[in-house]
């Protein structure tokens, strides 16, 4: 798209994760001015607060986002929560177009008895805690039990398992939160059991992620239970890699490993049992696979097993939430849209309103997936430009509103000050970065209190 198409026009983007940054880049390149609103004082969404601390090479994608932020016409508006500090309607009045890129911050529930017991947690919270998300500054995890059970077999479940078994010296040099490092230092967990409700061919993780765990010193990865490694007809390359790799893994413990990660397929939790409010065991049921409507699903056999544990982490997917003033599809937990153009509740197009990333497609896909997603959305937004009404407010009007409401806005330069402070504090401790744990400490380091 040529650099002049959007000249004189301006866009607001809500959310500064990968989807928001990729959308910003496409719009800036088309000549629009872009204000990127983010509820936290720091940018990058799940790249900062989701991607595991021992995946520093992946986090380096932020260098590309930094290049976007340095383009003329870009402003970062950190520490501004749309829907709380400023209404979406206010933004729509001040910009030609608004792109929603606010991700999927909640979690799915298992819906089994005992899920709310102490010691039973959502992976969304656990991951945010070890990554130093300020919403989770005061969370606490008791890692005193020998066994942890992780429900789900996606890449997030593997992140959680890996962080629980990885040698501490390797984690200590990352940007992991100090509170998590302290808890892991005292951890008694030696055995992590992953429960997958379907079979090896339906596992959602990537083979390389499991191989990384098996390669950790002192860690053994096993496959348990009565399971077949048959390749379904027409299996794609990822499924083939998973199944072939899983078939090579040991079925019995060697007795030599310091820590084990055990995969249990065809197993669904049916209840968490507790002693005085604290989880002490999980009951799971064996499943069989059935085909229904072209999809392989799990059906309980009635055969149940009890496994003692003091920590259950439910890693069965993230979930989008509605933003005040936005149409929302509660069934799919996304903003209803047609390739990124937001649809109002009556199915008509919401003029000048667009969506991208997890809140558009649902909570799956790698960082790069959001680039193609943002391209699709912004191409349509740019095609609509001439038909969009001229805004009646201007962005300075929004700045004034925020100032009147006492919101301390973090600019990109202020973020860079915060970033430098975290890196310097990290260097002093031999870590990549020492994340500031609270919003107030972040604002102080950014110099915007
Ligand atoms: P997010 O990254 O969630 O960004 C949304 C942003 O919106 C956040 O910054 C949030 O604070 C902000 N926001 C929310 N509400 C508001 C509001 N009301 N006002 C203003 N701002 C708001 N992919 C990989 O390729 N490699 C990996 O190693 C990898 N690891 C992952 C680990 C975990 C635990 C998870 C959950 C995902 C991982 N992914 C990984 C996937 C990748 O992180 C996602 O594809 C990507 O982050 C989704 O981008 P997004 O911009 O839609 O959402
Ligand atoms: P995911 O890939 O969708 O996996 C969710 C898992 O939960 C699946 O195994 C699913 O099983 C299971 N599940 C769902 N509902 C369940 C229920 N009621 N009971 C039992 N199990 C249930 O989601 P994710 O792990 O949260 O990852 C999100 C995205 O981020 C993915 O695209 C992932 O690849 C990406 N990510 C990538 C990396 C990386 O590259 N290193 C790291 C982390 C995340 P079914 O298949 O049976 O539904």
Q: Is residue 436 part of a domain?
A: no
Nearest ligand to the CA atom of 154: 2
Looking up residue 296, the CATH number of its domain turns out to be 3.50.50.60
Is the full-model pTM beyond 0.95? yes
User: pLDDT at residue 2 above 70?
Assistant: no
Both tokens assigned to 430 = 């031999």
Number of compact structural domains in the chain = 2
Q: Do 314 and 365 share a domain, yes or no?
A: no
Nearest ligand to the CA atom of 285: 2
> Which atom of ligand 1 is nearest to 43's Cα?
9
Distance 192 CA to ligand 2 centre (A): 17
Distance 278 CA to ligand 1 centre (A): 31
Both tokens assigned to 376 = 């699709």
Atom 36 in ligand 2: residue holding the nearest Cα: 155
Q: What's the DSSP call for residue 392?
A: S
pLDDT band at residue 1 using 50, 70 and 90 as cut-offs: low
82 Cβ neighbours under 8 A, 6+ residues apart: 14, 37, 39, 88, 91, 102, 323
Give per-residue pLDDT as tens, 247-266: 999 999 999 999 999 999 99
User: pLDDT at residue 98 above 90?
Assistant: yes
Q: Is residue 274 part of a domain?
A: yes
Q: Average pLDDT for residues 422-428, to the nearest whole number? A: 98
Q: Do 197 and 217 share a domain, yes or no?
A: yes
Ligand 2 environment, Cβ below 6 A = 110, 151-157, 159, 196-198, 202, 204, 209, 268, 315-318, 363-366
Would you say the CB of residue 191 lies under 6 angstroms from ligand 1?
A: no
Pocket test for ligand 1, best of 87, 102, 209 (most atoms within 8 A of CB): 102
Q: 186 is in which domain, residue-wise? A: 107-318
Q: Is residue 418 part of a domain?
A: no
Distance 344 CA to ligand 2 centre (A): 29
Q: Quick one: pLDDT at residue 4? A: 81
Give per-residue pLDDT as tens, 222-244: 999 889 998 988 899 999 999 99
Closest CA to 395 of 179, 113, 153, 80: 80
Q: Do 141 and 240 share a domain, yes or no?
A: yes
Q: Do 207 and 128 share a domain, yes or no?
A: yes
Closest CA to 91 of 273, 293, 369, 323: 323
Q: Average pLDDT for residues 102-123, to the nearest whole number? A: 97
Distance 429 CA to ligand 2 centre (A): 34
Q: Quick one: pLDDT at residue 345? A: 83
Looking up residue 14, the CATH number of its domain turns out to be 3.40.50.720
Nearest ligand to the CA atom of 318: 2
Name the percent of the chain lying above pLDDT 70: 99
């Amino acid at each position: 798209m040529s650099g002049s198409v959007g000249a004189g026009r301006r866009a607001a983007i809500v959310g500064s994760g990968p989807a928001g940054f990729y959308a910003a880049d496409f719009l800036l390149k088309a000549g629009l001015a872009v204000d990127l609103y983010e509820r936290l004082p720091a940018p990058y969404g799940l790249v900062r607060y989701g991607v595991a601390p021992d995946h520093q090479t992946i986090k380096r994608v932020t260098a590309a986002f930094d290049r976007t932020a340095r383009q003329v016409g870009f402003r970062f508006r950190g520490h501004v929560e749309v829907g709380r500090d400023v209404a979406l309607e206010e933004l729509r009045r001040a910009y030609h177009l608004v792109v929603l890129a606010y991700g999927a911050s909640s979690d799915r529930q298992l819906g089994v008895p005992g899920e709310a017991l102490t010691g039973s947690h959502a992976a969304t919270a656990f991951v945010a805690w070890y990554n130093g998300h300020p919403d989770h500054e005061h969370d606490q995890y008791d890692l005193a039990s020998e066994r942890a059970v992780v429900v789900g077999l996606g890449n997030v479940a593997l992140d959680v398992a890996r962080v629980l078994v990885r040698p501490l010296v390797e984690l200590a040099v990352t940007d992991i939160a100090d509170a998590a490092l302290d808890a892991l230092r005292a951890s008694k967990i030696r055995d992590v059991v992953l429960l997958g409700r379907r079979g090896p061919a339906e596992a959602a993780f990537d083979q390389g992620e499991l191989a990384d765990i098996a390669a950790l010193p002192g860690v053994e990865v096993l496959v348990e239970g009565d399971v077949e490694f048959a390749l379904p007809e027409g299996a794609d390359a990822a499924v083939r890699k998973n199944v072939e790799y899983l078939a090579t893994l040991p079925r019995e413990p060697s007795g030599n490993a310091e820590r084990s990660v055990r995969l249990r397929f065809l197993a669904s939790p049916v209840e968490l049992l507790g002693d005085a409010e604290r989880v002490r065991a999980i009951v799971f049921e064996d499943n069989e696979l059935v085909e229904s409507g072209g999809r392989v699903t799990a059906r309980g056999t009635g055969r149940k097993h009890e496994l003692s544990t003091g920590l259950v982490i439910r890693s069965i997917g993230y979930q989008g939430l509605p933003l005040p003033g936005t149409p929302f599809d509660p069934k799919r937990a996304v903003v209803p849209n047609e390739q990124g153009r937001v649809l109002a509740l009556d199915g008509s197009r919401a003029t000048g309103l667009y969506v991208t990333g997890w809140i558009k497609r649902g909570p799956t896909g790698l960082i790069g997936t959001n680039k193609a997603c943002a391209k699709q959305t912004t191409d349509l937004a740019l095609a609509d430009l001439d038909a969009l009404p001229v805004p009646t407010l201007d962005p300075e009007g929004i700045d004034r509103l925020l100032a009147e409401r006492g919101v301390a806005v973090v600019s990109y330069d202020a973020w860079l000050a915060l970033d430098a402070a975290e890196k310097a504090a990290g260097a002093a401790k031999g870590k990549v970065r020492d994340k500031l744990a609270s919003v107030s400490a972040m604002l102080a380091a950014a110099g915007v209190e």
